[in-house]
A and B are shown apart, each in its own frame.
Chain A
């Protein structure tokens, strides 16, 4: 029979255990962009290719860097791109945006402008209707950083 004292002890041990576990997690914590990527992918492994990121090779002003991302997909009921996730690996907040598409989209492509804190790699992860992921990467040199510290 579980009396009050053993119950209290047990909870304390459980709390201590949880504390240790979270400390261990903090110690081997991945880079923020790796965490952002993990949040999108879960345990899935992305395939490289079929994702095109158009961006200037050298961005003079990191406050506004134009980009176009497109994914080679038929965009039919059988096979489509559900979303494109955009990650800037060296930004203070690496997750930049998630763009969601529909069968009305016809084409999985988006154009916008982003901030880049400094020279870095930009990743675009496409989430497909069959649960798979595709990934594209692009390196951008930044002359003047754009997060206005």
Chain B
């Protein structure tokens, strides 16, 4: 699954003043990343120098090379690697593209700038010689190359000074520093603070907070309800939303809140296979980006709702349900086989959904009253410790 494109992203210059990023002398992380890219190029030069067909070793990013670590409760990338040769009809173009992207990233790091992956596509796109061929035909071609480079040099996208999109908002009793600007997340009005794509320590640091937990909501509308009802004030929590599948920035930030501030994470999603999958990615990482699980996933994240049994517990009328279609059913059956859903409670949860053939959106709770979700549903869930892990 490629990260969503960010059409609106402009070339963003990260402010270098304010002491967070001292000018000229690159921080250690950037120097490390640069060294990795240079090592890649040197390796190729060495091979060509000895008359060999130059190649890159690229870890395989497919389900076959992904394993579920029981101990660490994470989806992890396996050891399988694929050789990408230059002198090979089917690989030459990708080889060339990998170096175009590498060079562009080096330029970004050198100049201390970050850019969107769409921008990078335009930076590296040009016509070859006097042919009609382009280095890249569309962004679908450059995005996987970026992921290849990430796994090959073992650097995160953010370390390569690239970002995806920034669809996410956050409010809560917490003060942060974002590239030198101190931001009080208690005073963000109705819109909340837009979570940037790069949220590493060199950009964002946490200050004072009174939060007891983090609540990740799937939907923007529900998050607005929580914010409007000042749920975070009453319950001393941080509320975050990522418009469906949360982007990398949101996931990374939630993970940092969890590990650095020791806050438990609750996930509130629709009662459908897609909602379960959002929780699953938040909890153990995605298959496509398994190499980032370490930095993105929160294995201890708790699934607070909407549970397949809530329809009875909270007396939701049948007419707010939606019938599951074939895609939903297939997806649900696949999930039954995921090792991290092997626990009996999860099996019951998914099986109940399949059995009833019904799914519920979070908005269905509004049938019981507009603020039912903030005033009754969630408080009762937390009080009853009615969640899954």
Asked if A and B are interacting partners, one says: no
Question: Chain A residues in contact with chain B, CB under 8 A?
Answer: none
